[in-house]
Amino acid sequence: MKLKTAILLCALLAAVFALAGCAGNKDNPGTTTSASQMTDNTIPDGVYDADDDGIVNDDGTEVTENMPEATGTRPTSDDAFEDLRPTDVTDSGIVTGTSDTTGAITSDEAAFASSYITRTALKNEKIGWGLGKERDDANRPIDAVKAEEKYSALGARFLTGGEKQICLTFDEGYENGYTASILDTLKEKNVRAVFFVTYDYCRTAPELVQRMIDEGHIVGNHTWSHPSLPDCTQKEVWNELTTLHEYVRENFGYEMTLFRFPKGEFSERTLDDVRNLGYTSLFWSFAYADWDPNAGTDPAEALAKIEASTHSGIYLLHAVSSANAELLGSLLDYWKTEGYSVGAEF
């Protein structure tokens, strides 16, 4: 009898504790409630349903954690953040206005745009762009062909799209006294080119930048201070591109749309960062060691090397090279006789 009474007492106490637990759940948000306790897919007032990621809500609707500031991933729907996006940041990430007080891009704008375009699913492993010697039957470097296929979806170009089409580009980290001669030759041959500039170049040689624009060439963004972008945070990438973008727009009335990675060092993440800022990343399918003005490159040897590598592609020359300035006219004549169109198009 005593044993029976003890069993009944234990059962009664268990029931009391169970009821107390249910009552406590109603007053304690965050308690997980199983689907079997729900009716008509409705969560009782005050009871929160947590998913596997710990995201909760109290109205029975599915919750998706996609705020860029919280997760570092781009939202699946841009419409969800229309009320959060600054009015002067477009869908592509380009700042279209400036601060009301100083006329400069604010750190808040840069920080927001940086977090907004973040896509952490992409790798940030640094890739140093270079070309092997293997070529296809059109004399194009196989590495460039493969890179065009792999990275074009991220806004990168390594080759031209037309038959017998050459895109001629120059990198302008600093002025070494040869750009005027290069521009003279291009004007004489009626050829347009792409010049990638840094802030320091724009500041020290504004007359040459203006001449590039006036004579129909394309001026491209080569960053504010020429860092290796995979080493930068996304906010720093944003600042490197947009600060120069605004400087060129304000001082030359020109909108840049092409970008070249400093040192040719990039990553999947930085390609996507650049693309989301409204730029196309232009790499190259030919380059030689012409960036060192003390290398003493012989113009005849350099010309022979470039001619032997002729293909439909993007050519990188550095304007700091005296050899490039000297050989350019002969090179343009050679390409013309071989039936190539040369210009800034790709």
C-alpha span between 178 and 334 (Å, rounded): 21
- The residue among 124, 131, 143 whose CA lies nearest residue 228 is 124
What ranges do the domains of the chain cover? 2-57, 68-116, 131-343
Phi (first) and psi of residue 188, to 5 degrees: -65, -40
Strands 56-57 and 258-259: unpaired
Residue 24 has a pLDDT of 42
Residue 40 has a pLDDT of 38
Residue 99 has a pLDDT of 39
- The residue among 88, 67, 93 whose CA lies nearest residue 274 is 93
Do residues 166 and 193 make contact, with C-beta atoms less than 8 angstroms apart? Answer: no
Residue 30 has a pLDDT of 35
Residue 102 has a pLDDT of 47
* C-beta atoms surrounding 111 within 10 Å: 15
C-alpha span between 74 and 22 (Å, rounded): 39
Residue 317 has a pLDDT of 95
Residue 26 has a pLDDT of 37
Per-residue pLDDT of the chain (346 residues; tens, 9 = 90+): 444 444 444 444 444 444 444 444 433 333 333 333 333 333 333 332 333 333 333 333 333 323 222 223 233 333 332 332 333 333 333 333 333 444 454 544 554 444 444 455 789 999 999 999 999 999 999 999 999 999 999 999 999 999 999 999 999 999 999 999 999 999 999 999 999 999 999 999 999 999 999 999 999 999 999 999 999 999 999 999 999 999 999 999 999 999 999 999 999 999 999 999 999 999 999 998 888 877 778 999 999 999 999 999 999 999 999 999 999 999 999 999 999 999 999 9
Residue 281 has a pLDDT of 98
Active-site residue (options: 217, 222, 311, 318)? 318
Active-site residue (options: 171, 272, 273, 290)? 171
Q: Is 318 a catalytic residue?
A: yes
Q: What is the CATH code of the structural domain delimited by 131-343? A: 3.20.20.370
Residue 7 has a pLDDT of 45
Do residues 171 and 197 make contact, with C-beta atoms less than 8 angstroms apart? Answer: no
Write out the chain in H/E/C secondary structure. Answer: CHHHHHHHHHHHHHHHHHHHHHHHHHCCCCCCCCHHHCECCECCCCCCEECCCCCEECCCCCCCCCCHHHHCCCCCCHHHHCCCCCCCECCCCCECCCCCCCCCCCHHHHHHHHHHCCCCCCCCCCEECCCCCCECCCCCEHHHHHHHHHHHHHCEECCCCCCCEEEEEEEECCCCCCHHHHHHHHHHHCCCCEEEECHHHHHHCHHHHHHHHHCCCEEEECCCCCCCHHHCCHHHHHHHHHHHHHHHHHHHCCCCCEECCHHHEECHHHHHHHHHCCCEEECCCECCCCCCCCCCCCHHHHHHHHHHCCCCEEEEEECCCHHHHHHHHHHHHHHHHCCCEEECCC
